[in-house]
């Protein structure tokens, strides 16, 4: 955020509560102030929406003030996300809107940092890109587009470990009021398109805001970060707009491994542009280079999340044991916000044991012969028909050792066996050879998001044999299976609101929970009242019993390792909660689902956006 504080307005009290201390900076929206909240005795940032044209029609002013309120509500819907500057409130003072935001001490925006220090290293740009992509994806899942991703809207601040730029935050989230100040912006029928040189071609020509357009803007931003200037930087704003639409980006010279990712993000046609999931995979591999997906290597345990430490896998429990929550007392309902663990967001490693296992890697081409129609994936796998989206399965590994050899897979028609996993996606191919060569890596990409939200799962790619290629529907089936035991029910989007959790293995980040008792949690919509919200996972020591975890140990561990305050929840109002079940103790993983609850046991209200 630009420096050079101004004293104009210092000492004013806004809305009878916020004392302006000094001006932090100015931009297209107006001024940003450091203010003291006299009611809560803390510092906040106040964004003053300035309209510099006194002749502006009254109805136009009213419409733009209303837009500021609506857009601020969208941004507030992402509060608690580790990579979004939290919006606390929007108010009106002297006829103008003010937005009350989180104050981030020591923050510098990416544009200013590059101006001071020069271009950043490709791996550092990839790290920043992962964090911003995480924030954008959270908004997109709520139907909110940012519309103005650029270096000036990315803040870098010290993290808890003292790294000066370790914390990455996206600001000005979805706020589309357009006062005339700072960088030139463009409107079409009064709708903000973006900042010249960073907006997507389809937006420049009048298209609607989309996730793909935000991704293009992020590509421009990362290009600026690694090269020191924008890919379409020209002498005038009009020339930049023209270049975005008609010219290819300037070839990068410093980007290194980041260059092909940038090229894919800056494709003109949105339907041909790289997806968010693919971008996350590519950036993660730059931040933390990974082995070839066809080569299984043991990851350094120091780089894995705590629940990913290996443990001897005992036999899967035959039925779902009851859930246990710590702390006692019944509550009403909960919902998950678009939260991602900062670690998972930066490293892309929220998996227990790595990536997707290639199910037919040990078979020769052809899958061992047999009737192709009856065995699309080979006789060793044994399925009698091609899998369908949402199919639940049981998986038996040779010798009972998970992820060794080719598993025998069977359908679980009722998804209540309990199932070991579920079909989450498919990857089409032109030939059986292409399916074998590209299917597992593509399954890695398309299931990465759901795997990152679960504590103890891995991917499983069922690749069709040459004889069974047509019978398989000409596609590889991409499954998510439990790493150390069953998943006890449907996963991800296959779950229905009101579904009762039979085991914590199917709880995922951003889930909202209705808690009917200490042993009864149900999935509910995050748009309404809820009792708890899943923030992440941790792992307890091997000597901690399930009873001890349910009594207090799990809550204490979650309060330390997945503290709600790290996600923007006020510690005076919220506290850490936890859920455990017998499955992780039988499997030896001892992982715990960490949630946030209200201190008084009340509901966490939906924001209605």
Which residues 6+ apart lie within 8 Å of 577 measured at CB? 325, 326, 327, 532, 555, 558, 594, 595, 596, 597
> Which residue matches tokens 């909110």?
144
Query: In the beta sheet, which residues pair with residue 191?
Result: 188
- How far apart CA 470 and CA 464 sit, in angstroms, is 9
Contact between 80 and 569 under an 8 Å Cβ cutoff? The reply is yes
Residue 47 has pLDDT above 60, yes or no: yes
Q: Which two tokens stand for residue 104?
A: 């981030």
Q: What is the mean pLDDT of residues 90-94?
A: 83
pLDDT at 488: 87
- Cβ contacts of 414 within 8 Å, gap of 6 or more: 392
Q: Name, of 22-31, 42-51, 72-81, 109-118, the range with top average pLDDT.
A: 109-118
CB under 8 Å, gap of 24 or more: what pairs does 405-411 form? 405/362, 406/359, 406/360, 406/361, 406/362, 406/363, 406/378, 406/380, 406/381, 407/359, 407/381, 407/460, 408/380, 408/381, 408/382, 409/359, 409/377, 409/381, 409/382, 409/383, 409/462, 410/382, 410/383, 411/383
Q: Between these two residues, 536 and 332, which has the higher pLDDT value?
A: 536
Q: What is the pLDDT of residue 177?
A: 36
Angle at 279 between CA 433 and CA 566, to 5 degrees: 135
Q: Provide mean pLDDT across the span 94-107.
A: 85
Q: Which of 37, 53, 89, 148 is catalytic?
A: 148
Please give the Cα distance from 357 to 398 (Å, whole number).
14
pLDDT of residue 43: 92
Confidence of residue 398 (pLDDT cuts 50, 70, 90): confident
pLDDT digits (tens, 9 = 90+) for 380-391: 999 999 999 999
Q: What confidence tens digit (pLDDT) does each residue in 148-161 have?
A: 899 999 999 988 77
> What is the chain's mean pLDDT, rounded?
79
Q: Decide if 148 is catalytic.
A: yes
Of the listed ranges 247-256, 426-435, 441-450, the least confidently predicted one is: 441-450
pLDDT at 145: 87
Whether the full predicted model's pTM is greater than 0.75, yes or no, is no
Using alpha carbons, select from 207, 234, 231 the residue that is nearest to residue 217.
Answer: 231
Band (76; pLDDT cuts 50, 70, 90) = confident
What gap in Å lies between CA 11 and CA 375, rounded to an integer?
76
From CA 529, how far away is CA 603, in angstroms rounded?
Answer: 6
Q: Which domains does the chain have, with CATH numbers?
A: 13-102 (3.30.200.20), 108-287 (1.10.510.10), 320-339+509-598 (no CATH), 345-482 (no CATH)
Instruction: Specify the pLDDT at position 178.
Output: 35
Length of the chain: 609
More confident residue, 5 or 84: 84
Integer Cα distance of 36 and 604 in angstroms:
27
Task: Assign 58 a pLDDT band (cuts: 50, 70, 90).
Answer: low
Per-residue pLDDT, averaged over 244-254, amounts to: 92
Any known ligand binding at 47?
yes
**What pLDDT is recorded for position 491?**
93
What would the 3-class secondary structure string for 128-178 be?
HHHHHHHHHHHHHCCCCCCCCCCHHHEEEECCCCCCCCCEEEECCCCCCCC
| pLDDT single digits (tens) 535-565 | 999 989 888 999 999 888 999 999 998 999 8
């Amino acid at each position: 955020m630009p420096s050079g504080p101004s004293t104009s307005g210092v000492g004013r009290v806004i809305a009878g509560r916020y004392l302006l201390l000094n001006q932090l900076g100015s931009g297209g929206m107006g001024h940003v102030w450091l203010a003291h909240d006299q009611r809560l005795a803390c510092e906040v940032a106040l964004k003053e929406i300035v309209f510099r044209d006194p002749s502006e029609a009254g109805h136009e002013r009213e419409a733009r003030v209303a837009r500021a309120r609506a857009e601020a509500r969208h941004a507030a819907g992402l509060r608690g996300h580790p990579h979004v500057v939290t919006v606390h409130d929007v108010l009106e003072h002297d006829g103008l809107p003010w937005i009350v935001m989180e104050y981030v001490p020591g923050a510098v925006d990416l544009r200013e940092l590059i101006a001071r220090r020069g271009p950043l290293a490709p791996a550092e740009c990839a790290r920043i890109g992962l964090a911003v992509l995480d924030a954008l994806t959270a908004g997109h899942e709520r139907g909110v587009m940012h519309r103005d991703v650029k270096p000036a809207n990315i803040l870098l601040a010290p993290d808890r470990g003292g790294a000066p730029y370790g914390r990455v935050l996206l600001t000005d989230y979805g706020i589309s009021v357009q006062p005339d100040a700072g960088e030139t912006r463009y409107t079409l029928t009064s709708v903000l398109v973006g900042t010249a040189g960073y907006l997507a071609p389809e937006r420049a020509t009048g298209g609607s805001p989309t996730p793909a357009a935000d991704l293009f803007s992020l590509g421009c931003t990362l290009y600026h970060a690694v090269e020191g200037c924008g890919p379409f930087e020209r002498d005038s704003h009009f020339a930049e707009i023209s270049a975005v639409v008609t010219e290819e980006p300037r070839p990068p010279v410093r980007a290194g491994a980041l260059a092909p990712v940038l090229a894919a993000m800056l494709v003109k046609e949105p339907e041909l542009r790289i997806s968010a999931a693919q971008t996350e995979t590519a950036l993660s591999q730059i931040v933390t280079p990974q082995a070839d997906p066809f080569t299984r290597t043991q990851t350094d345990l120091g780089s894995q999340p705590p629940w990913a430490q290996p443990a001897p896998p005992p036999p899967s429990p035959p039925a779902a044991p009851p859930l246990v929550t710590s702390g006692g007392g019944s509550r009403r309902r909960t919902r998950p916000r678009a939260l991602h663990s900062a670690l998972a967001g930066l490293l892309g490693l929220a998996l227990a044991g790595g990536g997707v296992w290639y199910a037919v890697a040990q078979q020769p081409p052809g899958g061992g012969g047999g009737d192709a129609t009856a065995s699309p994936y080979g006789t060793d796998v044994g399925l009698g028909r091609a899998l369908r989206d949402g199919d639940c399965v049981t998986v038996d590994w040779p010798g009972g050792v998970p992820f060794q050899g080719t598993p025998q897979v069977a359908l679980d028609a009722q998804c209540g066996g309990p199932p070991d996993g579920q079909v989450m996606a498919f990857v089409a191919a032109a030939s059986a050879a292409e399916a074998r060569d590209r299917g597992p890596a593509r399954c890695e990409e398309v299931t990465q998001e759901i795997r990152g939200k679960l504590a103890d799962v891995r991917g499983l790619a069922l690749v069709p044999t040459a004889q069974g290629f047509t019978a398989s529907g000409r596609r590889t089936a991409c499954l998510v299976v439990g790493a150390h035991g069953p998943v006890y029910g449907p996963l991800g989007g296959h779950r229905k609101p009101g579904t009762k959790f039979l085991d914590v293995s199917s709880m995922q980040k951003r889930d909202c929970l209705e808690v009917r008792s200490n042993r009864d949690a149900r999935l509910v919509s995050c748009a309404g009242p809820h009792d708890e919200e899943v923030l992440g996972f941790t792992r307890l020591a091997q000597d901690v019993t399930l009873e001890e975890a349910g009594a207090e140990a799990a809550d204490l561990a979650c309060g330390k390792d997945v503290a709600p305050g790290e996600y923007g929840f006020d510690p005076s109002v919220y506290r850490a909660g936890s859920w455990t079940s017998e499955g992780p103790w039988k499997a030896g993983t001892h992982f715990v689902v960490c949630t946030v609850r209200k201190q008084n046991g009340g509901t966490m209200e939906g924001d209605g956006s």
